[in-house]
Copies of this chain bind each other. A is one copy, B any other.
Amino acid sequence: MKQKGLLMVISGPSGTGKGTLVKHLLKRNNKIQLSVSATTRKPRPGEVDGVNYFFLNKNEFEEKLTHGEFLEHAEVYGNYYGTPKAFVENQLNRGHNVLLEIDIVGAMQIRKKFKEAVFLFIIPPSLEELQRRIENRGTETPEQMTKRMDSALEEIRELEQYDYVILNDDIDKATGLIESIVKAELASVERSQHYWLDLFGVRR
């Protein structure tokens, strides 16, 4: 009997360095892999079906949607994006840990459909550092920056709906914390008890 992998859903406001953190984690840890989304948008040059995305036409996507085949989905600029349930479950059953970087709305859709997933919220080290990072992008008016800052703070309030908070101060430390969470979760009684009780032949 093999233990099932862990589905990790990662969110966090912009300016938290979430994307860089995820890349670093995937590079460093070969037991964690990124989920592949389905989309109706056209492939860009170099994008490979089944690697970057599962490319579907609108009819295909809507049919899968009707059959409940997505853990979450959204429409962005007229294109659908979604997380294919079968792909994720297949990876987890093979014992792989799957990572999904997604916004809060999508994360909460998954929370409802997939109780075993673990929800991680990435936060910046401080208000000042968040402001600095937003300002450093340098392309925005003061008004736009204030708006981004407000929306980041609005999002931080939502951390209550997640399971773990990852402070992204030092990227190696943050990566290590995520790895610790994977190890701890896989050792939780909830996830591992059947395995152990079977191994020792003492299942109730």
Q: Which residues of A contact B (CB under 8 A)?
A: 121, 123, 126-127, 153-154, 156-157, 159-160, 162-167, 176-177, 179-181, 183-185, 187-189, 192-193, 196-197, 199-202, 204
If A189-B165, A196-B123 touch, whether A204 touches B157 (CB-CB below 8 Å) is yes
Say how far A157's CB is from chain B's closest CB, in angstroms: 5
Q: Which residues from B are CB-within-8-Å of A201?
A: 127, 153
A181 — which chain B residues lie within 8 A by C-beta? 180, 183-184, 187
Can you add 18 more A-B contacts, CB < 8 Å, to A157-B202, A165-B192, A165-B193? A123-B200, A153-B201, A156-B200, A156-B202, A157-B197, A159-B193, A160-B204, A163-B189, A164-B187, A164-B188, A164-B189, A165-B188, A177-B184, A179-B180, A180-B181, A183-B184, A184-B184, A184-B185
Copies of the protein in its oligomer? 2
Residues of B within 8 A of A126 (CB): 199
Within 8 Å CB of A160, what residues of B?
189, 193, 197, 204
* Bound CA span A176–B183, Å: 9
